[in-house]
C-alpha cells in the first residue's frame, strides 16, 4: 500500500510496533499510573487516544499485573455505541508499560464540555443521560455483569458536533465472578455507601450515574463543601447527600437524582431508569414512542409491529448465556412474506448495528429498518428483565473470564452473512 509522506521528517515521539499508530507529545489526561496522549492512525487518517500504563509499580504484585492484562482483554471484547472503541494494544517490556489505542472524542470529557458550555437545555442533559444509561446497561447485561466502579463525568466523553456520548476509562472495571464484589476502589465523591463497606453489586454504577447527573445539572463538583476524602466518607456513610443537591431547582430532576442515590436494596437498575417517564420526551425517545406504540405482543416470545407498507413479527429465545435465536417474519401489502433466522450475541451486537446490516442486505426503508430495531430492542428488554426478575445468576465455566471472552470473540467474527440468516 502506497504511503504519501510530506517529507518533513517523523513528527511522532513514538510509533507502535506495526508502524500504523504514531504518538504525539501532547498529553490529553493523566492519572496515578496512566498517561493519555494524542495519537494518529495513519491507515485511517484519524486521530486516536494513546494510553500508556506504567506497570513497574505492579511488577512486585502479580495479582495487580494480572488485573491490568484482564482490563485490556475486557476492553477488546466490548462493542457498543456508548462505550469507547478499542483499536489496539501491546506490552512494551523495555519501558515497562502497557500501551492501548482507543478512539478519540474530540470534545474531551463531559465534565470539561459541560463547564465550557454553562447554559444547556434540560433536553440535552436528558439525552446525555439516556446514552450513559445505555452504556451502563450494556455493561451490566453481560453474564456475569461488568461493573465500571469509577463512573464520573471525567470518564465520559462527548463529541460536541453531534452530542454523541461514550463511557471510557474502564481501568477499575471488573467482571463480577460472584454476585457480591469486594474491594474499595474508585473516586470518593462518586462512590456508593456499599462500596466503602466492600459488599456491592452493579448498582454502585447507578449511584455514580446519579452523582454524574447532579454534576451535569449544577456544574459543581459533588461534595465540594468537604476538604478531604475523610469528610466525604463520613457524609456518605451517614446518608448525607451533596450540598449541591439542594441547589437543583427543577423538582423532576432532583427526584430523578434522588432515585439513583437510594439505598442499594431500593435503587433501580440502569434498565429501569431507561424506562423511567422522566427520560421520555427527547427527540430520540419521541421517535421510539411513535413507533413502539404500535407494537403488540401476541405471546411472551413474539412481538408484532406494522408500518405503512409491511407487517413485522419477531420471536426469540435464549440459546445460551449471551445468545438469542431470533426469527423475523415480514409481510408486504401484496401478502408476500419472507422469514429470517439469525443469532444475536448480547456481548457484541446491538439492535442498531444488526438492523443496519439487514437494511443494507435486504434493502429495507428507513421506516422498516427502525421497526426491526424497535422490535429487537423490545424483545431483548423482555429477555433481560426476565433474567433479572429471576434471582439466579448463571455461573461461568471453570475457565472463567478467558472462556467468556473467547465466546465474545467468536460472536464478533460472525458477520450477517455468517450468522445463519436464511430467507424463506
Catalytically active residues are 169
Distance CA 25, CA 5 (A): 20
Distance CA 185, CA 173 (A): 10
- The answer to whether residues 317 and 327 touch, using CB atoms and an 8 Å cutoff, is no
Q: Measured at the alpha carbon of residue 407, what is the angle toward residues 401 and 410, in degrees to the nearest 5? A: 140
Q: Measured at the alpha carbon of residue 232, what is the angle toward residues 227 and 233, in degrees to the nearest 5? A: 135
Query: What b/e string do you get for 234-251 counting C-beta neighbours within 10 Å, with b at 16 or more?
Result: ebbeeeebbebbeebeee
Give the DSSP per-residue string, 75-138.
HHH---TTBPPEEEEEEETTTTEEEEEEE--TT-BHHHHHHHS----HHHHHHHHHHHHHHHHH
Can you say whether residue 141 is alpha, beta or left, with left for phi > 0 and alpha for psi between -120 and 50 degrees? alpha
Cell output for 17: 510496533
CA dihedral of residues 136, 139, 141, 145 (deg, nearest 10): -120
Q: Return the closest-CA partner of residue 205 out of 123, 267, 248.
A: 267
Strand, helix or coil for residue 53: strand
Distance CA 323, CA 334 (A): 34
Q: How many CB atoms lie within 10 A of CB 220?
A: 16
- The answer to whether residues 172 and 191 touch, using CB atoms and an 8 Å cutoff, is no
- The answer to whether residues 142 and 89 touch, using CB atoms and an 8 Å cutoff, is no
In this structure, the chain runs to a length of: 424
Amino acid at each position: 500500500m502506497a504511503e504519501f509522506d510530506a517529507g518533513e521528517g517523523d513528527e511522532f515521539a513514538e510509533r507502535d510496533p506495526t508502524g500504523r499508530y504514531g504518538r504525539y507529545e501532547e498529553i490529553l489526561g493523566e492519572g496515578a499510573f496512566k498517561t493519555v496522549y494524542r495519537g494518529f492512525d495513519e491507515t485511517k487518517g484519524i486521530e486516536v487516544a494513546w494510553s500508556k500504563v506504567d506497570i513497574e509499580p505492579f511488577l512486585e504484585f502479580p495479582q495487580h499485573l494480572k488485573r491490568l492484562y484482564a482490563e485490556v482483554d475486557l476492553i477488546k471484547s466490548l462493542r457498543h455505541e456508548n462505550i469507547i472503541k478499542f483499536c489496539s494494544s501491546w506490552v512494551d517490556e523495555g519501558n515497562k508499560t502497557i500501551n492501548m489505542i482507543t478512539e478519540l472524542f474530540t470534545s474531551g470529557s463531559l465534565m470539561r464540555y459541560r463547564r465550557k458550555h454553562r447554559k444547556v437545555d434540560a433536553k440535552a442533559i436528558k439525552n446525555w443521560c439516556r446514552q450513559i444509561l445505555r452504556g451502563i446497561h450494556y455493561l451490566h447485561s453481560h453474564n456475569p455483569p461488568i461493573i465500571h466502579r469509577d463512573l464520573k463525568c471525567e470518564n465520559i466523553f462527548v463529541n460536541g458536533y453531534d452530542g454523541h456520548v461514550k463511557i471510557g476509562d474502564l481501568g477499575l472495571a471488573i467482571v463480577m465472578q460472584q454476585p457480591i464484589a469486594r474491594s474499595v476502589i474508585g473516586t470518593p465523591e462518586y462512590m456508593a455507601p456499599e462500596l466503602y463497606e466492600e459488599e456491592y453489586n452493579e448498582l454502585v454504577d447507578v449511584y455514580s450515574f446519579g452523582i454524574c447527573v447532579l454534576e451535569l445539572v449544577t456544574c459543581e463538583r459533588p461534595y465540594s463543601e468537604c476538604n478531604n476524602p475523610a469528610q466525604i466518607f463520613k457524609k456518605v456513610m451517614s446518608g448525607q447527600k451533596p450540598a449541591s443537591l439542594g441547589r437543583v431547582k427543577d423538582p423532576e430532576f432532583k427526584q430523578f437524582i434522588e432515585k439513583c442515590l437510594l439505598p442499594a436494596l431500593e435503587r433501580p437498575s440502569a434498565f429501569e431508569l431507561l424506562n423511567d417517564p422522566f427520560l421520555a420526551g427527547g427527540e430520540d425517545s419521541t421517535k421510539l414512542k411513535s413507533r413502539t406504540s404500535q407494537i403488540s405482543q401476541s405471546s411472551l416470545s413474539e412481538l408484532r409491529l406494522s408500518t405503512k407498507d409491511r407487517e413485522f413479527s419477531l420471536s426469540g429465545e435464549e440459546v445460551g448465556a449471551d445468545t438469542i435465536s431470533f426469527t423475523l417474519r415480514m409481510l408486504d401489502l401484496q401478502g408476500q412474506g419472507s422469514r429470517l433466522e439469525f443469532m444475536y450475541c448480547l456481548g457484541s451486537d446491538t439492535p442498531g448495528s444488526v438492523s443496519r446490516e439487514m437494511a443494507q442486505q435486504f434493502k429495507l426503508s428507513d421506516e422498516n429498518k427502525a421497526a426491526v430495531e424497535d422490535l429487537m430492542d423490545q424483545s431483548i428488554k423482555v429477555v433481560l428483565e426476565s433474567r433479572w426478575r429471576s434471582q439466579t445468576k448463571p455461573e461461568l465455566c471453570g475457565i472463567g473470564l478467558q472462556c467468556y471472552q473467547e465466546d465474545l470473540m467468536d460472536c464478533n467474527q460472525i458477520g450477517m452473512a455468517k450468522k445463519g440468516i436464511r430467507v424463506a
